[in-house]
Amino acid sequence: MAELSKGTTPPDGGDFQWILSVDGSSNQQGSEAGIILEGLNGLLIKKALKFAFKASNKQAEYEALEAGMLLAKEMGAQSLLVKRDSLLVTEQVTAEYQAKDPQMASYLKYVMLLKEAFPAFELIHVPREQNARADLLAKLARSGKGGR
């Protein structure tokens, strides 16, 4: 994949690489996600989601990833770079770890299906401090002040 700055298009006429940052979390108050999608010409979409169901932290991480991928697909992204701070989910999607729990395997199967919508797809693990904006949006959803 070629490295591109915002507002440029690849030299081969391919699609611009969209960047998706996601974070999900769960606690006694509920489950939430923060999603940031960066697109062509400086487009920036931020979403703070509060889930209406009880979920574990890993389930919330998968829900955040799925919601972000669906948003990118809806926006017409063809090349997607996903950044997230959940090492376990990242390594399950990149096939470095297996999802042994049946529920996690189900989440993984759906993510792999969504992944097919993107001719170019890369998922990388980043340290928590490099995913602070998505984490902040998840916390905003928890406070009830975020968008849905």
Residue 6 domain flag:
no
If one counts the domains in the chain, the total is 1
Tell me the range of 27-31, 90-94, 108-112 where mean pLDDT is highest.
Answer: 108-112
Once rounded to an integer, what is the mean pLDDT over residues 29-49? 88
Parent domain of 46:
17-143
56 found inside a domain? yes
As to burial, measured by CB atoms within 10 angstroms (0-12 exposed, 13-18 middle, 19+ buried), residue 30 is middle
The two tokens of residue 96 are 């470095």
Residue 57 within a domain? yes
- For the stretch 117-148, pLDDT in tens is 999 999 998 887 776 676 666 666 666 654 44
In a domain, 27, yes or no: yes
Pairing of strands 79-84, 17-27: parallel
For the sheet with 44-51, list strands across it.
44-51, 30-38, 17-27, 79-84, 120-125
The reply to whether 7 falls in a domain is no
CATH number of the domain residue 77 falls in: 3.30.420.10
Cβ within 8 Å of residue 18, ≥6 positions away: 37, 38, 39, 40, 72, 75, 77, 79, 80, 81
Q: Is the pLDDT of residue 105 over 90?
A: yes
Look at residue 1 and tell me if it is in a domain.
no
Given a cut of 80, is residue 12 above it in pLDDT?
no
Kindly report the pTM of this predicted structure. 0.81
**Confidence check: pLDDT of 93 > 70:** yes
Of 78, 82, 83, give the one whose Cα is nearest residue 9. 78
Residues 32 and 23: their CA atoms lie apart, in Å, by 8
What local confidence, expressed as pLDDT, does residue 52 receive? 83
Question: Per-residue pLDDT averaged across 88-99, rounded?
Answer: 90
Task: Answer with the residue of higher pLDDT: 7 or 62.
Answer: 62
